[in-house]
Structure 1
Amino acid sequence: MAENNDDQERTEQPSEKRLREAREKGDIPRSRDLSGAVVVLAGVATLISGGHQSLEHIRRIYGFGLSYGRDALFSDELPARILNMALHEAMALLAPVALATLLAALAAPILLGGLSFSAQALEPKLERLDPISGLGRIFALRGLVELAKSLAKLLLIGTVLVMVMKNWQDDLMATGRGEVGAGMVMSFGLLGHAALLFGSILALIGGADALYQKFDYNKRLRMSRQELKDESKESDGNPELKGRIRQLQFQMARKRMMQELPKADVVITNPTHFAVALRYDEGRMGAPRVIAKGVDELAQQIRLVASSHRVPLVEAPPLARALYATTQLDREIPASLYVAVAQVLAYVFQLKQAAVRGDDPPPKPKPEIDPDLMGPYKF
C-alpha cells in the first residue's frame, strides 16, 4: 500500500536534472527484445545478401571432408590440414555476419536510450546478493510483467515457427531426395526465410517492448511536487543568499558606474527623476554609450557627481526617459536615438566653445522623440 501511495504522489514528469543523474548511473531505457531483433535481422540480412558466397563456403567445407586421395587418407597430417582449411572457410563465411551483428549490437541502444558509459553501473552492489530482496524483485509487478512477456514471446514465436514448418514440410522432405547441391540451396533458402520471419516477429515484439520500457522508465523517475520544489531550491540556492549576492552585485555595479561617470561627455536629465550619462569616443565607439543611468535617488547622485566633475547637465525629459527605457548600462544607444543625441552632443560642444570665446550660450535643443521609445515612462 505504501508503494502504491508513493506512486500516486509522483505525478510530475522527471526534471532534466533527475534524467541526467539517472543516465550518469547507467539507468537508461533499454529493450533486450529490440536489441535482439536488430541483431538477428542484421545477421540474417547479411547471410541472405551474400547467399551465393555463403553456399560456396559451405560447399567447400563439406568437400574438404569428402575429397582426398589414398595417400592422404593414411597420412597423419590429413585431419589437421582439413581442419585448418575448414576453419578458414568458416571464418570467411561468418566474418561478415559477425561484423554486421557487432555493429547492430552497438547501434541498437541508440534507437531507444542512446549510448551510455557509466562507471557507477560497474560498481558491485552487495544488496543484489540478498536472496530475500531477489525474491521480492521476482514477485514484484515488474518481475511478473517480464515473466508474462517471456511466456508471450515463447508462445507467439513457437506457434508461428510450427506453422511455418508444417507449411514447408514437403519442401523439407524433398531436400533429401534430390541432388546434394540442390538440397543445400533449398535448405539454405528455407533456413534464411525462417530466420527472417523469426527476426520480423522479434522486431514486432521488440517495438512493443520498447514503448513499454520507455513508459516504465518515465514512470520510475516521476517526481512528487515536493521533490520538484526541493530540487528547485537546491539548484537555485538559498533565496536569502541569492538576494544578498544580487545586492552586492548591484552595489559593485553602482560603484563602477560612479567611477566611470567623470568620463561622461554629458548627462541628460528629466530633470529630477531620470539621469543618463553618455560618453562618445569617435575612434573606439560606433555610437554614444550609456555609462551611467538612474532614477530618483540614484539620478540625484549622478547629477551631483557629474556637477562636481564639471560634466554638462542637459535637460531633455523625453530623451532621458527614452534612453533609460531602451539602452542597458554600458551599451550603445539605438539607431532611433542617433539624431536626438547628436543634437545634444552638438549643443555641448557649442557650449564649450562659447565659454572659451566668452560668447553667449547657444539655445538648448529640444529633440523630438517617438513616444513609443519611452516604454513605460511615457507619462
Structure 2
Amino acid sequence: MAADAEGRTEDPTSKKLSDARSKGQIPRSRELSTMMVLVGGGLGFLLYGHYLATAMFGMLKNALTLEREDAFDISRMFVQMESALDAIAWPVLAINIVLLIFAVIGNIAIGGYNFSAKAMRPKFSKMNPITGFKRIFGIQGLVELVKSIAKVAVVVISAYVCFKMFYQELLHINVESMPGGLFKALEIMIWVFLILSASLIVITLIDVPYQIYNHNEQLKMTKQEVKDEHKNAEGDPLIKGKIRQAMFKASQRRMLQEVPKADVVVTNPTHFAVALKYDPLGTGAPMLVAKGVDEMAGHIRDIATAHEVPILTAPMLARAIYYTTEFEEEIPEKLFAAVAQVLAYVFALRDYKKGKVKKRPKQFRSSNLPIPPDMYY
C-alpha cells in the first residue's frame, strides 16, 4: 500500500480527522448518493405517480376539449393553464419532497453533515493535467473503472429480470381500454425504474466500506507526525519541564518568605526541615508553611536562625510531616498529638524568654513524641 511505502502506518488521530473535516475531507460515496436519489424518485412516483398521471390526463383532456365560445375567449387559455398547474402542483411537490429526503439521507449517511468554507475555495492544483492523469490511471481510476463495469453488469441483469417479470403484462397492454392501458404502462415503467435503481444497492454495499477505508488510508500518519501532533497538543516536554522547574522555584521562594512567620522548624536534623505555624485563637490545625530537603532544608534553617524561629530536632516527625503534608496544608490528624507537644514546648520556651514564667521548660526529647507506626517514613 502507498501508506506503507511512505511510512504512513498510523491511524489518523482525532485532531487529524477534525482538521480534515474542517477542510471538507470526509468520506463520501457517490454511488450511495446516486442510488438514494434514484430509489427516492422511484418511490415518489410509486406513491404519487397515479395522482400525477390522473392530473396530467385531465389536463390533456381539458386542453383537447374546446367549446365554441372558448374559441372566441382570449382569457380562456390562461384559465386552462392555471387549472392545469393547480392539478399537477401537489403531486409534483410531493414527489420532490420524497426525492429531497432521500437525497439528503444519501449525502449524510456516511461522514454526516458538514459545511466547510475551505472546501468551496477553488484549488488550482485540480487543474493540473499531470495530477489529472494520475487520478485517471492510478488506483482510484482503476477502482472507478471496475465500479462502472459492475454497474453496467448489475443494471443489465436487473433489466433482464424485469423483462421476464413484466413480459406477459406488456403483451396485454394494447387490449386494455384508455386510460387504463396508459396507467398500466406507467405503473410498469415505475416498477422497472425502481427495481433498476434498487439494483445499485449491490454496488453501494461495496463502495461505502471502500470509501471509508480509502478515506482512512489517505489520512494515515507517520509515527513522527503522531509524535509531533502529540507534542503540539500536550506541549513540548522540554518546555513543560522548564515551566515545572520555574513553578517549583517560585513555590520555594514563597515558602522561604513564610519561614520568618513560623512558630517552629522541625528538622531531621540535616536532610529534612519543615516549618509550622499555629494560631491559638483560630479554629484550624497547625499549618505547614515551608518544607525542604538537603539544600532547601539548609535555607529554611538559616532563615529560621536569622529570625530567631525555634529549631527542634525530631527526625521521625520531620519526615512524617514532609511526606504527608503539602505547602499551606494542615497537618494530618494522626500527628496532632506529636505536634501539640512540640508547640507546647515552643510556647513555654517563648514565655520563659519573655519573663512570663520563671521556670525553664525541660529539655525537649523527640523520642517521647506519639507518632503512629503508619506515619513512619
Q: TM-score range by the shorter chain?
A: 0.7 to 0.9
What SS is found at the alignment partner of 1:66?
A: helix
Match of 1:197 in 2: 195
For 2:123 and 2:290, the matched residues in 1 are separated by 60
Match of 1:58 in 2: 53
For 1:46 and 1:282, the matched residues in 2 are separated by 86
CA contact (8 A) 1:269 1:313 kept: yes
CA contact (8 A) 1:65 1:82 kept: no
For 1:190 and 1:278, the matched residues in 2 are separated by 95
For 1:284 and 1:85, the matched residues in 2 are separated by 93
CA contact (8 A) 1:312 1:348 kept: no
Q: Which amino acid in the other structure matches residue 256 of structure 1? A: R
Q: Percentage identity across aligned positions?
A: 35
For 1:315 and 1:204, the matched residues in 2 are separated by 84
Match of 2:297 in 1: 299
- Compare 211-220 and 53-62 and name the one that shifted more: 53-62
CA contact (8 A) 2:150 2:203 kept: no
Match of 1:94 in 2: 92
Would the alpha carbon gap of residues 241 and 65 (structure 1) be closer, same or farther in structure 2, given more than 3 Å must change?
same
Would the alpha carbon gap of residues 366 and 61 (structure 1) be closer, same or farther in structure 2, given more than 3 Å must change?
same
Would the alpha carbon gap of residues 167 and 249 (structure 1) be closer, same or farther in structure 2, given more than 3 Å must change?
same
Q: Which amino acid in the other structure matches residue 367 of structure 1? A: I
Mapping of residues 191-270 of structure 1, within 5 Å: 191=189, 193-231=191-229, 241-262=239-260, 269-270=267-268
**1:183-225 Cα shifts (integer Å, max 9, x gaps):** 5665565455445434443334223212111211222222333
Match of 2:112 in 1: 114
**1:51-73 Cα shifts (integer Å, max 9, x gaps):** 3x653343123212213551346
Q: Say which of 4, 7, 14 aligns to 2:5.
A: 7
**Does 2:374 correspond to 1:370?**
yes
Q: Say which of 83, 86, 97 aligns to 1:85.
A: 83
Q: Which amino acid in the other structure matches residue 144 of structure 2? A: E
Equivalent pairs counted in the alignment come to 364
- Compare 19-28 and 277-286 and name the one that shifted more: 277-286
Q: Give 1:27 shift.
A: 1.7
CA contact (8 A) 1:319 1:369 kept: no
What SS is found at the alignment partner of 1:293?
A: strand
For 2:250 and 2:293, the matched residues in 1 are separated by 18
CA contact (8 A) 1:316 1:366 kept: no
Would the alpha carbon gap of residues 17 and 350 (structure 1) be closer, same or farther in structure 2, given more than 3 Å must change?
same
**1:30-80 Cα shifts (integer Å, max 9, x gaps):** 1111223344444555555xx3x6533431232122135513465433443
Match of 2:334 in 1: 340
For 1:253 and 1:183, the matched residues in 2 are separated by 93
Q: Which amino acid in the other structure matches residue 58 of structure 2? A: G
Q: Which amino acid in the other structure matches residue 115 of structure 1? A: Y
Q: Which amino acid in the other structure matches residue 350 of structure 1? A: A
Match of 2:344 in 1: 350
**1:103-125 Cα shifts (integer Å, max 9, x gaps):** 44444444322333333222222
Would the alpha carbon gap of residues 350 and 129 (structure 1) be closer, same or farther in structure 2, given more than 3 Å must change?
same
Would the alpha carbon gap of residues 93 and 283 (structure 1) be closer, same or farther in structure 2, given more than 3 Å must change?
farther
Would the alpha carbon gap of residues 310 and 130 (structure 1) be closer, same or farther in structure 2, given more than 3 Å must change?
same
What SS is found at the alignment partner of 1:65?
A: helix
| Superposed CA RMSD | 4.0
For 2:264 and 2:89, the matched residues in 1 are separated by 85
Q: Which has the larger radius of gyration?
A: 2
Q: Give 1:151 shift.
A: 1.9
**Does 2:162 correspond to 1:164?**
yes
Gaps of 5+ in 1: none
Q: Which amino acid in the other structure matches residue 34 of structure 2? A: G
Q: Give 1:294 shift.
A: 2.7
For 2:169 and 2:50, the matched residues in 1 are separated by 18
Match of 1:149 in 2: 147
Gaps of 5+ in 2: none
TM-score, L = length of structure 1? 0.76
Q: Give 1:370 shift.
A: 2.2
For 1:185 and 1:322, the matched residues in 2 are separated by 95
